[in-house]
A = this chain, B = another copy of it.
Amino acid sequence: MNNKKNKDGLTEKQFLKQYNPGNYKRPSVTTDILIIGMNEDYSGLKLLLIKRGNHPYIDCWALPGGFIEENETAYQAAARELEEETGLTDIYLDQIYTFTKPGRDPRTWVMSIAYLSLVPRLREVKGFDDAEDAAWFDLEFNDSSIELTNEEKGVKIVYSLKKESFLNGAVRYENYIPTLKTEEALAFDHVEILIEAMKKLREQIFYSNQAFCLVDKTFTLPELQAAYEAVLNRPLYKKSFRDMVSEKLVETGTERRSNIKGGRTSKEYTLK
């Protein structure tokens, strides 16, 4: 606190007392959270979606999320949401991007701060207040399409993608433009959030330890490699991969199977 006076002759204390915050129109701000994990046999990624129980986008599948409260950070709101959905705490959770396009929510002016969470293994999803349902969807993301599938519920959501590049100053961006191909769709602009998160994840995976968040605390190298490959959606050479991660690993001493079928057992590791 200082005692300088402003043009109206008010100190900071006086100014704050008379300050009227009600002059500007304010947006609602929510967090939307992408909860991503490996599927049962480590052959691909899964995304947690909830089914909306009310307008707008009633009966559509959507990213879990909720309003940020006045006494919490966006991170805390996202962590709360994550725990409500999965029961998990102490999990990788990172801010991706903030979406602000006017009209993205037909109800009112709503901005959304998107978070990405990478969870180790699948868990049962809990019930949820506003949601009719919650379920893991198989996530296939490649250069030409996004496919979200839940066979149990008979739901398939497909967007075709078109790459488009545009300039930001001297920097050229590659962007994916989605076009809906199925009856079912994701609510709001949640496809765009998904695209942005997957782009960022792919850029960072080699320079971070994000892939380690997708496997258990102790893991085998075939499992870890599967996590990298699922994120990148392309195969990696075994030897190069192992050379790359080798200095991040510590052997646990035990061995176990990575695979249900035949073959040798794998050494177990933990992250150094």
Contact = CB atoms under 8 A, between A and B. Distances in A.
A75 B94 CA distance: 21
B93 A95 contact: no
Interface string A144-156: 0000000000000
Please name the 6 residue pairs, one residue from A and one from B, whose CB atoms are nearest each other, closest first: A92-B169, A21-B108, A170-B212, A15-B55, A26-B26, A74-B100
Given A12-B58, A169-B213, A213-B169, A19 B208 contact: no
A182 interface: no
Interface stretch (A2-10, A134-142, A231-239, A255-263): A2-10
A209 B106 CA distance: 37
Secondary structure call for the A interface:
loop
Q: How large is the interface on A (under 10, 10 to 19, 20 to 34, 35 or more residues)?
A: 35 or more
A265 B2 CA distance: 54
Interface string A11-45: 11001100101001111110000000000000000
Given A168-B93, A213-B169, A70 B109 contact: yes
Given A12-B56, A90-B169, A91-B169, 18 more contacts: A6-B55, A11-B55, A21-B28, A24-B67, A25-B69, A26-B29, A27-B29, A27-B68, A29-B29, A68-B100, A70-B109, A73-B102, A74-B98, A94-B171, A98-B98, A118-B169, A170-B271, A171-B210
Given A26-B29, A71-B102, A2 B58 contact: yes
A264 interface: no
B70 A106 contact: no
B213 A12 contact: no
Nearest to A13: B55
Nearest to A210: B171
Interface string A102-120: 1000111101010000100
Number of copies: 2
B212 A56 contact: no
A88 B122 CA distance: 49
23 contacts: A2-B58, A7-B53, A11-B55, A12-B56, A12-B106, A16-B56, A16-B106, A16-B107, A26-B26, A26-B28, A29-B100, A29-B111, A68-B100, A73-B101, A74-B100, A74-B111, A75-B100, A91-B169, A93-B168, A100-B113, A118-B169, A170-B209, A171-B208
